[in-house]
Amino acid sequence: MNKKKLLVVLALAALLAAYFAFDLGRYFSLAYLKQSQTIFATLFAEKPIQVVAVFFVIYVAVTAVSLPGATILTLAAGAMFGQLLGTVVASFASSLGATLAMLASRYVLRDSVQQRFGAQLSGVNQGLAKDGAFYLFSLRLIPLVPFFVLNLLMGLTTIKTRTYYWVSQVGMLAATFVYVNAGTQLARIDSLKDVASPGLLLSFAALGLFPLVAKKAITMFQNKKVYAKWASQKPKQFDRNLVVIGAGAAGLVTSYIAAAVKAKVTLVEAHKMGGDCLNYGCVPSKALIKSAKLATQMRHGDHYGLELTQPTFSFKKVMARVHDVIRAVAPHDSVERYTELGVEVLQGYARIVNPWTVEIKLNSGEVQRLTTRSIVIGSGARPFVPPLPGLDDVGYVTSDTLWDEFAKLDTPPARLVVLGGGPIGCELAQSFARLGSKVIQVEMAPRIMIREDEEVSVLAREALTRDGVEVLTSHKALRCEREGERKFIVVEHQGAELRIEFDALLCAVGRVARLSGYGLEELGIPTQRTVVTNDYLETIYPNIFAAGDVAGPYQFTHTASHQAWYAAVNALFGDFKRFKVDYSVIPWATFIDPEVARVGLNEQEAREKGIAYEVTKYGIDDLDRAIADGTAHGFVKVLTVPGKDRILGVTIVGEHAGDLLTEFVLAMKHGLGLNKILGTIHTYPTLSEANKYAAGEWKRAHAPQRVLAWLEKFHTWRRG
């Protein structure tokens, strides 16, 4: 705690101590107020402005410090000033005091609370950002909730000060009016119970619940309106609890969870079980990367004290191994496995006919219709193919089609052009270069891996160049041309055109959600680049959900699985309890060599968002295990709150960076700081020690120099 905060705490503590030490509470009792009513009335008659001003200041101070007595002061306002003026003075004073109390709580406590419970409070803060005024208003209407407690708790959130003030002003007005009115009839009051009777408190509670009930009623009305067109088609009984469209990561996990809780669920897949990840993405690309890496290690055997060896291999066998790996993993996502788990799997094309009916054109030619309480769309994404003139004429492959097309080749493409400098493009460009292709990578942006920090992009480019990839950044693809059997792509750089000849062209410029053919247009479900959903993954129809790549905002297998839990639970149990998707800690990795892995913020994102940060960096070139393995390159970079060990984000570049990142993902998810990582035993010698040493760098930079100076003097004295 800094000096300013300490002074504020001490000042508040002193006021509280004085309040109780000098028994100031006797001045805020009903008996004292009744005894002094005549004196106060006389003073007000003689000096009305001064009395109102002093009263206002006292009222603000009492509420700001959260002292007992606000209720008596409200009665006093009525007794001294009458109904109208008393209500005005008490209303503004109480609102201002409440806001000051909230700000004091925020100044003293919020940073430490957010640091410790930031992950748990992220959902609360998001909810307050959206509906904070609404909920605060509801609570202000209920005197059963102590206002001073509410002030302190709201200070721990991110609600705006202006919002807090005006909502408090309006929300407390009813209670203020009642108590001021009671104060105008002070002689009839023998106890505060005469004012705050159980009936009155229950009335206020009902009034406070009214906005919540009203919001629920509005939601029901909106739902009825959106379903109105289809009301006559709603079945009285349903064939299924849930129908899931698409057997990629999102669909598989959604249907798995539904079956686990004994719901009747049908999973519909038109093509291959496992979706993009198993068949075209994660699995085949990692198999290819492994073969390519081994070939490179053989070429550099002297680095390990071995003889240089030029690898000889059959490209067909390399690609065959890729397909072998797919087949080995496929049973995990197979029809048989999910059928055993209790999921009905239908292979065919699904189209949503109305909010409760899905029509399935089975691959066998039959058509089946199923009614269902809820639907989850997990149709995934496909590679984006840029509209380049001449592209179809020269031919191309994508990250989906290359596995079958290249499996037909005896040798890797002699000259391969890779369009795109993102993760997919970089991984495949490096792999094919290592397998012998002359690879030219074309990226329109000024650097590859544009979402990462610039130093990461530089290291990635150096790694690809070292393996023989010619990286052309700031080059815009214009068109493709063909001259007989020769194929060219024309790119523009700094106003000049460059013509590049190739044997194969790989489009790896991103992926777009699969949105057509599922009946979304007919139902009026909004789509932009993805299906538009709310925080609960609901579309405009509360029983139709979307998850995975088709929903965004991330296109990772692990986020699709993450969303699937929310989609399944909200679809099956949303009438009782709904859960907002938590995107607070999302990791990802690019599996080039060296790997690049990240969670949370990097520097460029922190700057763009105006978030203050501190950087701690540890170079893996100094790590014992990395030196022994011949992989002593890269770094661990941690962004923290200035002066704190709370982690805002981590970027790791190096061998097995994706695996090393997990420790930081766990720490961020559960609010653990660098001190906890530093205090954890890491096996020696392992690459994971890099995480501990990064934490150690932070600790060293924040060592208490004054304490150390005194310790040095102490030890000098001890030596005599």
Tell me the pLDDT tens digit for each residue of 649-706.
Answer: 999 999 999 999 999 999 999 999 999 999 999 999 999 999 999 999 999 999 888 8
Measured distance CA(358)–CA(266) in Å, rounded: 10
* Confidence at residue 26, expressed as pLDDT on a 0 to 100 scale: 66
Tokens 């890496």 sit at which residue? 293
Q: Which of 55-64, 384-393, 620-629 has the lowest mean pLDDT?
A: 55-64
Q: How many residues does the chain have?
A: 720
Beta-carbon contacts of 334 under 8 Å, excluding residues fewer than 6 positions away, are: 273
Pair of tokens at residue 623? 């790590």
Asked whether the beta carbons of 397 and 408 are under 8 A apart, the reply is no
Q: How confident is the model at residue 165 (pLDDT cuts 50, 70, 90)?
A: confident
Number of other CB atoms surrounding residue 701 within 10 Å:
10
Residue 278: Cβ-neighbour burial (10 angstroms; 0-12, 13-18, 19+) = buried
Residue 287 above 70 pLDDT?
yes
Q: How confident is the model at residue 193 (pLDDT cuts 50, 70, 90)?
A: low
Beta-carbon contacts of 282 under 8 Å, excluding residues fewer than 6 positions away, are: 557
Residue 133 above 80 pLDDT?
no
* Confidence at residue 80, expressed as pLDDT on a 0 to 100 scale: 84
Pair of tokens at residue 137? 């208003």
Overall pTM surpassing 0.75 (yes/no): yes
Please say whether the dihedral angle defined by the alpha carbons of residues 471, 472, 474 and 476, taken in this order, is positive or negative. Answer: negative
With residue 419 as reference, give the H or E element that holds it.
strand 415-419
Residue 166 amino acid letter: W
Tokens 């049973």 sit at which residue? 331
Beta-carbon contacts of 697 under 8 Å, excluding residues fewer than 6 positions away, are: 616, 617, 618
Give pLDDT tens digits for 229-267.
Answer: 898 999 999 999 999 999 999 999 999 999 999 999 999
Residue 520 above 90 pLDDT?
yes
**Phi-psi label, residue 491: left if phi above 0, alpha if psi -120 to 50, beta otherwise:** beta
What is the C-alpha radius of gyration for the chain, rounded to an integer number of angstroms? 33
Opening angle at CA 125, ends 636 and 646, nearest 5:
25
Measured distance CA(75)–CA(85) in Å, rounded: 12
Measured distance CA(46)–CA(38) in Å, rounded: 12
Which one-letter DSSP state was computed for residue 187?
A: G
Across 196-214, average pLDDT:
51
Pair of tokens at residue 410? 């005896």
Measured distance CA(625)–CA(392) in Å, rounded: 49
Number of other CB atoms surrounding residue 436 within 10 Å:
17
Measured distance CA(378)–CA(514) in Å, rounded: 9
At the topology level of CATH, where does 594-705 sit? Enolase-like; domain 1 (3.30.390)
Pair of tokens at residue 331? 């049973």
Helix and strand element counts for the chain (H, E): 27, 21
Number of other CB atoms surrounding residue 575 within 10 Å:
10
- Tell me the C-alpha to C-alpha distance, in Å, between residue 661 and each of 395, 439, 553, 599, 637: 39, 30, 21, 8, 11
Residue 566: Cβ-neighbour burial (10 angstroms; 0-12, 13-18, 19+) = buried
User: Would you say the CATH fold of 391-510 matches that of 240-383+513-573?
Assistant: yes
Report domain extents, the chain: 3-214, 240-383+513-573, 391-510, 594-705
Specify the higher pLDDT residue, 144 or 341.
Answer: 341
Residue 555: Cβ-neighbour burial (10 angstroms; 0-12, 13-18, 19+) = buried
Measured distance CA(97)–CA(146) in Å, rounded: 14
Measured distance CA(597)–CA(594) in Å, rounded: 10
Which one-letter DSSP state was computed for residue 381?
A: E
Q: How confident is the model at residue 164 (pLDDT cuts 50, 70, 90)?
A: confident
Residue 200 above 50 pLDDT?
no
With residue 99 as reference, give the H or E element that holds it.
helix 70-105
* Confidence at residue 375, expressed as pLDDT on a 0 to 100 scale: 97
Give pLDDT tens digits for 303-355.
Answer: 899 988 889 999 999 999 999 999 999 999 999 999 999 999 999 999 999 99
Pair of tokens at residue 407? 């499996």
* Confidence at residue 217, expressed as pLDDT on a 0 to 100 scale: 64
Q: Which of 156-170, 209-223, 396-410, 497-511 has the lowest mean pLDDT?
A: 209-223
Which overall architecture, per CATH, does domain 391-510 show? 3-Layer(bba) Sandwich (3.50)
Percent of the chain exceeding pLDDT 90 equals 64
Closest CA relative to residue 487, chosen from 504, 507, 473:
504
Measured distance CA(511)–CA(380) in Å, rounded: 10
Beta-carbon contacts of 97 under 8 Å, excluding residues fewer than 6 positions away, are: 59, 60, 61, 62, 63, 64, 70
Measured distance CA(475)–CA(491) in Å, rounded: 6
Number of other CB atoms surrounding residue 599 within 10 Å:
24
Q: How confident is the model at residue 122 (pLDDT cuts 50, 70, 90)?
A: low
Asked whether the beta carbons of 421 and 475 are under 8 A apart, the reply is no
Residue 120 above 60 pLDDT?
no
Average pLDDT over the chain reads 88
Specify the higher pLDDT residue, 480 or 156.
Answer: 480
Measured distance CA(687)–CA(308) in Å, rounded: 26
CA count, 13 A, side-chain hemisphere, 301: 9
Question: For the chain, percent helix, then strand, then coil, each to nearest 5?
Answer: 55, 15, 30
Strands 397-398 and 357-362: unpaired
Across 91-99, average pLDDT:
88
Percent of the chain exceeding pLDDT 70 equals 85
Number of other CB atoms surrounding residue 113 within 10 Å:
17
Closest CA relative to residue 243, chosen from 123, 357, 76:
357
* Confidence at residue 247, expressed as pLDDT on a 0 to 100 scale: 96
Pair of tokens at residue 686? 């392992």
Closest CA relative to residue 572, chosen from 345, 344, 262, 353:
262
CA count, 13 A, side-chain hemisphere, 125: 16
Q: How confident is the model at residue 112 (pLDDT cuts 50, 70, 90)?
A: low
The helix-helix angle for 161-171 and 111-140 (nearest 10°) equals 30
Measured distance CA(126)–CA(159) in Å, rounded: 10
Strands 470-472 and 486-493: unpaired
Q: Which of 171-180, 390-399, 471-480, 651-660 has the lowest mean pLDDT?
A: 171-180
Beta-carbon contacts of 290 under 8 Å, excluding residues fewer than 6 positions away, are: none
Give pLDDT tens digits for 459-480.
Answer: 999 999 999 999 999 999 999 9
3-state secondary structure of 144: coil
* Confidence at residue 138, expressed as pLDDT on a 0 to 100 scale: 67
Pair of tokens at residue 573? 């149990």
Across 263-276, average pLDDT:
95
Across 513-528, average pLDDT:
94
For 240-383+513-573, CATH gives 3.50.50.60
With residue 500 as reference, give the H or E element that holds it.
strand 496-502
- Order of strands across the sheet that contains 587-590: 587-590, 595-600, 647-654, 635-640, 614-619
Give pLDDT tens digits for 550-603.
Answer: 999 999 999 999 999 999 999 999 989 999 999 989 999 999 999 999 999 999
Specify the higher pLDDT residue, 506 or 164.
Answer: 506
Across 174-199, average pLDDT:
64
Measured distance CA(666)–CA(106) in Å, rounded: 27
Q: How confident is the model at residue 626 (pLDDT cuts 50, 70, 90)?
A: very high
